[in-house]
A and B are shown apart, each in its own frame.
Chain A
């Protein structure tokens, strides 16, 4: 019933249908599918990797089978592309329609809802049940791109204050250092800290890079809504499972995005039952250590004395052949976070 929309005319009609529902048409998708009634396009939806978005049904057809048809087609295409779990970002008022199709609500923050199919979060949590401990625990969530002495200082100090520190490394692989390398350097760089548990966030950190803004109201700030959703998911689903009561983060002197995220944590986490704790970032030669400095040094081949900024394990990686591909990527896309 639903078919792929490929021609320019069909894409333009999809845009009009999406916009008629108060949504924004966002370029950037792997598939766009639609359903026709006669010549009229009456339902449409798009997929970008594992994220379904811009799903719109004409008012005359709402409540009928078209939403299921669109989601079915997108699920088939996603399955063929190797994505099993699917995610939907939408308005909270639309969450029920997706729940009726078997999606599970992961987080709803007032302005946005995140749903998934396939019980991935429940399975991810269950897979970590063996790490659960009694006591008072904390968390650090970080990209560690790559793991520096700044991260090490934050983790050490946080670990001193709690029984177990869960260090969640964000999987989303848009960082210069591939996820597997980031995770390995974090593990090596914290191996001597007995009460630190290093985890992979899997898909359960809402990244600005996959967050679609198509459903937001005019005047809503996409970054703000994305942070709210991410913190709601963390505070309502992840923290309670592990018994995490505090979330630690470093002061941010350089990056405006990270600073905003810190502000959002300070504002929102208390309402979610998690205490935000900002710790002073470690310095080298009077300047705060940051992963972006390390990336700049790698890019420019200035690794002399890099031990002032990173632990020995990260330094060894930076000097190894494996770092060559990272250096190439950094040279190609300068300035990426």
Chain B
């Protein structure tokens, strides 16, 4: 799946995450999180897992996390990718 257009999913509520995706030449993942210091590596790993599973190799993925659990991160990112699909 590719990122054909800008899309977003999720909310800025506590325990949720807001995901923005847009087309880009390379794959860039930017993470902003209230728990960045402790959990950035886990959030990043989860995002990369979803991107791999969806076959996304290029695009800018911007994530504003407010303490979302793994499954919420996956669900929000998948939704954003589906909305951005070509």
Contact = CB atoms under 8 A, between A and B. Distances in A.
Pair from one complex: yes
Contacts, number: 44
A101 B13 CA distance: 8
Contacts of A71: 12
B34 A72 contact: no
The residue in B18, B20, B62 that gathers the most chain A C-beta atoms within 10 A of its C-beta is B18
Q: Is chain B's interface secondary structure helix, strand, loop, or mixed overall?
A: strand
Contacts of A102: 12, 18, 32-34, 64-66
A68 B14 contact: yes
A337 interface: no
Interface string A85-109: 0000000000000001110000000
B13 A65 contact: yes
B11 A69 contact: yes
B30 interface: yes
B44 interface: no
A119 B30 CA distance: 9
A101 B14 CA distance: 9
B34 A75 contact: no
A76 interface: yes
Given A65-B14, A71-B12, A72-B12, A84 B20 contact: yes
A101 B12 contact: yes
Contacts of A273: none
A119 B8 CA distance: 16
